């Protein structure tokens, strides 16, 4: 990646002479005096601060990504205008477990760039070996040579300290789905320390007999103290179907009295969690009414 710049004087086409500099200093002093007399400085500063805040995107806190979630951040917005579209506007790549936001280098990683094949993927082994498709989505480097490991570390230094790409989070492979008891499920409410290699602790929610880890992108909504934290560590099918945070609905697993419309709402939640949010399924549990 090469970046080119021209001297500021060439960019603006201004020849700064001592005479011109003198005029500029006098004009600047006059502006400062007028602002101090008429209170313009405070208003001007406030206005510019507001404009800066309105024009800047609020930086999102680091989070955990599954490989499937990472794939969405490929610089190609979805045409559905929904959840996928917003993710696709950014370009992320994963190197040695860290997920980097390389959106500002879209000329290289965007749809028309030479490295677009990397967008939304784990590229650790690719950077080490100087390859593309053949090593995509592989983070293992145990069989790489010393020279290849050195090349990888040089890339990491470039990403972190030269290009200073923001780190959006960590790439995590969720555990295989397993059968769980309700007691086991109750231990995943976001109140434990994050496991090694993760940003956030696991947060499990039960819906229609499946256990999903909503900490992958949903931490702020379900963390301790957040309103939806009450749904964690249990079968929340009834509460979701009724769109209720009432303690009685949250505590109950009975879905026998749900209406057809409430069952539809429950199905919509399950679809959103699994196919839109892409929360990983990490377990199953006995579900009333399941075959």
Mean pLDDT of 207-214: 98
**Domain match, 162 and 194 both:** no
Give pLDDT, residue 55: 47
The residue from 116, 145, 171 where one domain ends is 171
Residue after which a domain boundary falls, among 171, 205, 236: 171
Q: Are residues 167 and 186 in the same domain?
A: no
Its pTM stands at 0.78
Residue 51 CB burial class (10 angstroms; 0-12, 13-18, ≥19): exposed
Does residue 10 carry a pLDDT above 80? Answer: no
Tens-place pLDDT, residues 122-163 = 999 999 999 999 999 999 999 999 999 999 999 999 999 999
Residue with tokens 């399924």: 281
Q: What is the mean pLDDT of the chain?
A: 85
The C-alpha atoms of residue 82 and residue 5 are separated, in whole angstroms, by 38
Domain, as residue range, for 214: 178-284
Mean pLDDT over residues 105-111, rounded?
Answer: 95
How much of the chain is helix, strand and coil, in % rounded to 5?
45, 10, 40
Q: How far apart are CA 270 and CA 208, in angstroms?
A: 8
Which CATH number is 263's domain given? 3.10.120.10
How much is the average pLDDT of 211-228? 98
**Per-residue confidence (pLDDT) for residue 16, from 0 to 100:** 44
Number of folded domains that form the chain:
2
Same domain, yes or no: 210 and 167: no
Token code pair at residue 126: 């690719």
Least confident of 20-24, 44-48, 99-103: 44-48
Residue 233's pLDDT band, with cuts at 50, 70 and 90, is very high
d(CA 110, CA 107): 6
Sequence-ordered list of residues with C-beta below 8 angstroms from that of 280, at least 6 positions apart, any chain? 66, 68, 174, 212, 213, 216
Count CB neighbours of 64 within 10 A. Answer: 25
- pLDDT, tens digit (0-9, with 9 covering 90-100), for 259-276: 999 999 999 999 999 999
């Amino acid at each position: 990646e090469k970046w080119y710049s021209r001297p500021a004087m060439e960019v603006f086409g201004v020849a700064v002479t001592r005479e011109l500099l003198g005029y500029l200093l006098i004009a600047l002093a006059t502006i400062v005096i007028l602002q101090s007399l008429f209170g313009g400085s405070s208003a001007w500063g406030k206005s510019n601060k507001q404009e800066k805040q309105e024009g800047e995107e609020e930086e999102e806190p680091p989070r955990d990504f599954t490989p499937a979630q990472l794939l969405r951040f490929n610089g190609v917005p979805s045409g559905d205008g929904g959840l996928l579209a917003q993710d696709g506007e950014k370009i992320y790549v994963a190197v040695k477990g860290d997920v980097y936001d390389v959106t500002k280098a879209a000329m290289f990683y965007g749809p028309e760039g030479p490295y677009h094949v990397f967008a939304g993927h784990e590229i650790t082994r690719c950077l080490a070996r100087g390859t593309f498709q053949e090593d995509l989505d592989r983070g293992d480097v145990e069989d790489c040579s010393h020279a290849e490991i050195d090349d990888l570390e040089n890339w990491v230094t470039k990403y972190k300290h030269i290009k200073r790409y923001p780190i959006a989070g960590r790439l995590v492979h969720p555990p295989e789905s397993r059968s769980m008891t309700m007691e086991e499920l109750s231990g995943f409410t976001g109140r434990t320390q994050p496991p090694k290699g993760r940003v956030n602790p696991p947060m499990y929610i039960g819906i229609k007999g499946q256990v999903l880890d909503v900490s992958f992108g949903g931490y702020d909504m379900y963390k301790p103290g957040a309103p939806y934290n009450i749904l964690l560590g249990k079968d929340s099918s009834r509460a979701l179907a009724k769109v209720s945070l009432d303690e009685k609905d949250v505590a109950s697993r009975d879905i026998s009295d749900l209406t057809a419309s409430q069952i539809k709402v429950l199905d919509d939640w399950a679809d959103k969690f699994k196919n839109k949010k892409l929360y990983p399924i990490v377990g199953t549990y006995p579900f009333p009414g399941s075959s």
